[in-house]
Chains A and B, each alone.
Chain A
C-alpha cells in the first residue's frame, strides 16, 4: 500500500443522493454565459467543503469572483499574482503547520487549495507548481484548463491543442492554428511523484467531485487537471459546454484517469470512441482544419490513448483477478 491508497482505504464516493449542499463559491459571480470553468470550480469546491484555504492565480476565476467590494467566496481566499498560487499555498500550509504545532491555533484539518488556469499552470506558473509538488506540501492543485489565455482574450498557451485557432496562433494562409502539441500537465505532476493525480471534467460531475474528495484525503500534494470548456474562446454555443466536454472524453481527446501512488487507473473506458470530427465540428476554433490535418490529429490522439491504456495495466489485472 502506498501513502495515497492507504489514505483512501475508507473512501466513500458521492452519488446523486448525497451531493454536498455547501456552495463555497456562491452564485452571482460574473462568469460568461455557459462558462465550463466556473462550473468545474463550483463542483470542485463543493467536494472540498468549507474547512479550506484557497489560493487563486490571476485569471478568469479570480476576476469573476472577486470584484471589490463583492466576493463570491465563502471560504478564506487569497489572490496574489498570476504565476505563484502554488507558492502562496506552500506558505499558507507551512504557516498552519507551524502554528498548529506551536498551539497558536487549533485547526489541524484544513484543506489547502491552489488553482489556476492552463496559462497560470502550464506556462507562467510551472516553476512554482513544480516546487510545491516537489516539496510535498499537503495541498490540492486544480488546473482549470480552457486551453488558452481566455481572460486576456484567447491567446495560445502551451496547453492549447494542436490546430486550434487563437488570437496568437491564428489560422491563416501560412498557419493551421496552434503548431505545437498540448503539454501534458498531469504526466508532469506524476513525474514529480505526487501521490494523487487525476484528470476530470464538469461533464462528469460525480467523477470530478469524487476525485477532489480523494485528493483532499490524501496527505501530500495532489494535482487534478480539469478540462473546462470556454464557449467564448472555443467558439461553440453557450449551451454546448457540457456537450463539448463529453465529446472530448468520448473521442479520447481528454481521457479521464487517476494515478494513485504512481499507478494508473482509467476512470472511464471509451468502448466505442467517437471520431474526433464530432468533437471538432461544434467548435469554430478548429473549423479551418483540412482532412489531412484532422487525420494526423486523430492518429496522434489514438496513439496517446493507447499509450495511456498500457499504463493502466494495474486496473486490467485487478479485473482479471475478479
Chain B
C-alpha cells in the first residue's frame, strides 16, 4: 500500500514521470518549471531513470527534439511554461498534427509584458488551439496522477495526440503537499510499454511531415479533429481505469455542491480549492452556491459541464487570463461556456471575471464578492467581462 508523504509537487511530478519509464526527456529551464526538469536530470544522473536527458538550448528545440524522439518511437516528456511555451508553440501545432504522444507538464505562468514569473493561465489559453489534449490539476496529488494518466491518454491508439498536464506555477509547483506516490508495479499495470504504430525505422521507412496541398490539407485537419473528438469518452474510460488501479476517480468536469445550487462558479486549477472553501462559508450562511471545475479543457467537455450547471440561475465564470477582446465578448473559458449555453437555449445570468493574473492572490472574499455581484445584478447590467481585485 502506498503511503502518504510530504513532497514538493514539482519533485513528485518528476518522480511520477520517472515511474512512467520515459525514454527521452528534452527540456529547457524556465521558472517555475525548473524543479521538474532538475529532478528528472537528477533521476537520470543517479541511475534511477534509464532515459536520455537532452539539455536543449531553447524551448523551441525542446519541442523539436521531443518531436524527433517521439517520431523515433520513444516515450517522451518535456516541461515548460509562459515565454517558453510561446517560443515552442510553433512546434506544438506540428506535434499534434504528426500525432505524436508527447507529454508536457506546464507550470502555468503569466506571459510578458510586464515580465512576470507568477501564476495565471495565459500559457494554457495560448495552447488551446494547438490540437493538444489539456488536463488541469488542482492540487499536488492531481498533478501526479494526471501526469501518469497523460501517457495512457496520449498513447491510446484511438487518440495518439500530445497531452499537456497543467499545474499552477508556484501555487502548485513549489508547494510541499501531502500526497500518495503511486507504486512502480501499479504504474506498470496501468501503463503498458509504448508500442508506436509508426516510427522512424530504417527497416520500414516512412515519410513524416510531407507537404499538404489544398486538395488534402482540409482532410488532414479534419482527421486530426476527429481524433480529438473521439478522445473525450476514452479519456473518461482511462480515468476510470486509473480509479480501479489507484483508487482516485477523476472526471472531465468535477462538481462541488452543484445539485441544488442557485449560483455556480466555474473555474480551473488550484483556485478551485479556495473557491470550495469560500462555498462552504457561503453555504453556512444559507447561500446556495456550488462549483464546477473543468478538468479537461481540450477536448472541451461541453455536455458534462452543461449537465453540471444547467440548474443554476447565476453563473460566475472565471478566466485567469486577460481577454484582449475589446470588452464586448468574454474571456476564453467564458466564451466556451456561453457558446455551449446558447446551443442549449439556456440563459442564466452570467458574470465573467478575470482573476488571479500574474500571481495576484484570489481570496475567499473575492469569491463572495463575485457571487454577490452576479446574484444581485439586474438583467443586462453585467459586462462581457470585468477585472476583479484590481486597483483603478
At the interface, yes or no: A270 with Cβ under 8 Å from chain B? no
A-B residue pair count with CB separations less than 8 angstroms: 169
Interface of chain A, main secondary structure:
mixed
Chain B nearest CB from A193 CB (Å) reads 15
For residue A98, CB closer than 8 A to chain B, the reply is yes
Interface size of B in residues (CB-CB distance below 8 Å)? 46
Contact residues in B for A99 (Cβ distance below 8 Å): 23, 72-74
A94 vs B199: C-alpha distance in the bound complex, in angstroms?
14
Cα separation A99 to B22 with both chains bound (whole Å): 10
Choose one: A55, A62, A128; the contact of B61 (CB below 8 Å): A128
Is the pair B68, A55 in contact by a Cβ cutoff of 8 Å?
yes
A220-B64 Cα distance, complex, nearest whole Å? 20
**Interchain CA distance A98-B66 in the complex, whole Å:** 13
In the assembled complex, the Cα of A79 lies from the Cα of B68 at a distance in Å of 10
Taking CB atoms, residues of chain B closer than 8 Å to A127 are 57-58, 60-61
Known A87-B65, A90-B56, A98-B50; contact A63-B200, beta-carbon cutoff 8 A = no
B1-40 interface code vs A (CB 8 A; 1 in, 0 out): 0000000000000000000000110100000000000000
Q: Which residues on B sit within 8 Å (CB–CB) of A91?
A: 24, 26, 54, 64-72, 76
Stretch in A103-111, A155-163, A290-298 touching the partner: A103-111
Instruction: Please report the C-alpha to C-alpha distance between residue A282 and residue B61 in the assembled complex, in whole angstroms.
Output: 40
Residue numbers in B under 8 Å from A128 (CB-CB): 57-58, 60-61, 64
Which A residues touch B71, using CB under 8 A? 78, 88, 91-92
Q: Give A73 to B200 CA distance when docked, in angstroms.
A: 12
Q: B210 and A88: CB pair below 8 A?
A: no
B202 to A67, Cβ gap below 8 A? no
Separation of A71 and B72 alpha carbons in the complex (Å): 19
CA separation between A79 and B73, bound complex, in Å?
Answer: 16
A105 to B75, CA, bound (A): 13
Q: Are A71 and B210 in contact (CB under 8 A)?
A: yes
B237 within 8 A of A: no
A79: which B residues are within 8 A, CB to CB?
208-210
Contact with A along B302-338 (1 / 0, CB 8 A): 0000000000000000000000000000000000000
With both beta carbons as reference points, the residue of chain B lying nearest to A66 in the complex is identified as B210
A153 within 8 A of B: no
Q: Which of A62, A73, A87, A89 contacts B56 (CB 8 A)?
A: A87
Quote the shortest CB–CB distance from B211 to chain A (angstroms).
5
Q: Which residues of B contact A (CB under 8 A)?
A: 23-24, 26, 50-52, 54-58, 60-61, 64-74, 76, 90-91, 94, 98, 193, 199-213, 216
Closest 10 CB pairs of A and B: A91-B68, A91-B65, A131-B57, A87-B64, A95-B74, A95-B72, A87-B61, A91-B69, A84-B64, A88-B68
12 A-B pairs within 8 Å (CB atoms) are namely A66-B210, A78-B200, A87-B65, A95-B24, A95-B68, A95-B69, A95-B72, A95-B73, A98-B50, A102-B50, A104-B23, A107-B203
Q: 18 additional contacts, CB 8 Å, given A94-B52, A134-B57, A135-B54?
A: A53-B72, A67-B210, A68-B213, A76-B207, A76-B208, A78-B71, A80-B91, A84-B64, A87-B68, A91-B66, A92-B200, A93-B68, A94-B54, A95-B74, A96-B72, A99-B73, A107-B203, A128-B60
